[in-house]
A and B are shown apart, each in its own frame.
Chain A
Amino acid sequence: MSERLVVNPIDCKAHGACAELLPEMITLDEWGYPIVDPRPVPPSLERDARKAVNACPTLALRRLRTDDR
């Protein structure tokens, strides 16, 4: 079961923890807001992705199962 990452842009307050924990998939724009790779999370990054989701102070970063949409 593959999953992807989505940001709730209303909840996101640009803390930037996600980009530090998962730089392979998340970069920050010039205002500090995350730009998330829309592709499914590869198995090798699943651990880090989970860490990034858990580290988000505003719970804006979420994991979605790819078949959700």
Chain B
Amino acid sequence: MTAATAGAFHDGASRAAAPSDLPRLLPPVQGGKRPQDLAAHLARHGDLPYRDRIGTPASPGALIGVIEQSGLTGRGGAAFPVHRKLNAVLEAADRRRRTPVVIANGAESEPASDKDATLLWLAPHLVLDGLQLAAEALGADTAILVTHADRKHDVAGRVRQALQERLSLRLDRVPVQLAVAPARFLSGQETALVNHLGGGPSIPTFMPPRITERGLNGNPTLVQNVETLAHLALIARRGPRWFREVGTAAEPGSMLATIRRADGQPRISEVPLGQPLRYLLGDPQQTTPESAVLVGGYHGTWLPAAQAAGLTLDNRALERVGARVGAGIVISLPPDRCGLVETARVVRYLALESAGQCGPCLNGLPRIAAALVELATGRPRPQTVEDLQRWSGLVTGRGACHHPDGTARFVRSALVTFAAEADRHARGRCSAASTAPFLPIPAAAAQTEDDWT
């Protein structure tokens, strides 16, 4: 179900109106299912730029300025401007006289996403180039790439093989360590990642201080999603104007999207920001008034399919309807499934994945999950929906991380999008023909503290 089996799939990109050189990150369609080795990678993309003869980066500020001009934002979900994080780390390192740490985040702990594993499988060298360039631009002496523990394909092994290839050419000046994040929903969260790499459990910590100020072992730390680093490696070679040839003026460039339709299989497509969602969705002929689309994953937003079909994949468009691009997950709920049942299943998982550190999340999420089961199984109390609304409000903004906020967003959007279905359930009916689970959820919940390390 991951990387190579799903393979690269580019129909979304090829149907885009604008002429483009997509895919940029993934190998071209013909060789799409074969990982790119170092020779193929260098033949396609050329040597690493931003290095002078004596082996130091041309100047730290130069690359950061280029990244700022490109408008690149983080592709892990938060869409934070990359140059601002780079500058924050550089500034903290100078002020505190500490050597920064750079971390490539491929933990991809969102179960519905498969784009980071696919990228690392098919084009590991592009990510490693970006990690190297970021490390050199900041003067870091430590670079770490983190992968997810529980993928069917040996992504970590693939990256290890890529590092061996680079070693023989002495490509990397900052040595790269590999680490594996536990298969928990929160383990990709920045502070959880730093906590884990520092020897602690993979659970979030309270900010401030921000990790750009005081991260791994107290050093200023840059955490960037692996896809972000791959874009950075291409911008460094081809420049900000090239990057802006696709995407929107406000949100330039392309992104990897994980698309799931009725068959439930993940398809990874590299699409320009601003891509019409209707290119990514299933056959509009099969859309019913109940059809729904989940945008942004399990911290994302349910939208009626008819509404989603008129939107584009960028935050400016999606924020108007309370949604966000997130890590680029777009899922069409098949017409024979019940959105309330699916939401209840996912929220139960999210409640179990709470680190249990913050009172509102610890108390609120299980109650929300239980109330959703009432709604899904058709025995809601009169006040169930009201309880869900109140608890969703109570947990929002009150955790050390955004887990309660994201879960509440997901729940509230379900209450709106599936309001008619909830009425049907209250009368003892359900419009779904199938009860087979659709949205992917990892089989094993955490049992002991060891599952978080």
Contacts and interface: CB of A to CB of B under 8 A. Distances in A.
B359 A12 contact: yes
Interface stretch (A17-25, A28-36, A44-52): A28-36
Contacts of B361: 9
A29 B206 contact: no
A1 interface: no
A53 B361 CA distance: 23
B360 A9 contact: yes
B279 to A, nearest CB: 40
Most chain B CB within 10 A, of A11, A33, A35, is at A33
Most chain A CB within 10 A, of B357, B398, B399, B400, is at B398
A8 interface: yes
Interface string B197-237: 00000000110100000000000000000000000000000
B358 interface: yes
Contacts, number: 36
Nearest to A31: B363
Nearest to B359: A33
Contacts of B79: none
Interface in B345-364: 357-361, 363-364
Which secondary structure dominates where chain B touches chain A? loop
Given A29-B394, A30-B394, A33-B398, A9 B358 contact: yes
A28 to B, nearest CB: 10
A11 B206 CA distance: 9
B394 A9 contact: no
Given A29-B394, A30-B394, A9 B400 contact: yes
Contacts of A8: 206, 400
B399 A9 contact: yes
Interface string B354-388: 00011111011000000000000000000000000
A9 B205 CA distance: 10
A56 interface: no
A33 B357 CA distance: 13
A67 to B, nearest CB: 13
A16 B399 CA distance: 17
Contacts of A32: 359
Contacts of B363: 31, 33
Contact of A33 (B208, B360, B400): B360
Contacts of A35: 394, 398
Contacts of A10: 205-206, 357-358, 400
A14 interface: yes
A12 B360 CA distance: 10
Contact of A14 (B206, B357, B359, B398): B359
Contacts of B206: 8-11
A8 B401 CA distance: 11
A12 B205 CA distance: 13
Nearest to B394: A29
Nearest to B204: A10
A35 B393 CA distance: 12
Contacts of B357: 9-10
A53 B206 CA distance: 18
Contacts of A12: 358-359
A31 B360 contact: yes
Contacts of A33: 359-360, 363, 398
A8 B399 CA distance: 8
Nearest to B360: A33
Nearest to A36: B398
A12 to B, nearest CB: 6
A68 B359 CA distance: 25
Contacts of B398: 9, 33, 35
A27 to B, nearest CB: 11
B444 to A, nearest CB: 25
A14 B363 CA distance: 12
Contacts of A68: 208
Nearest to B205: A10
A10 to B, nearest CB: 4
A32 B208 CA distance: 24
Contacts of B359: 9, 12-14, 31-33
A35 B358 CA distance: 13
Nearest to B397: A38
Nearest to B390: A30
B358 to A, nearest CB: 4
Nearest to A14: B359
9 shortest interchain CB distances as A-B pairs: A9-B358, A33-B359, A31-B363, A10-B357, A8-B206, A10-B400, A10-B206, A9-B400, A29-B394
22 contacts: A8-B206, A8-B400, A9-B357, A9-B360, A9-B398, A9-B399, A9-B400, A10-B206, A10-B358, A10-B400, A11-B206, A12-B358, A13-B359, A14-B359, A30-B394, A31-B359, A31-B360, A31-B363, A33-B359, A33-B360, A33-B363, A33-B398
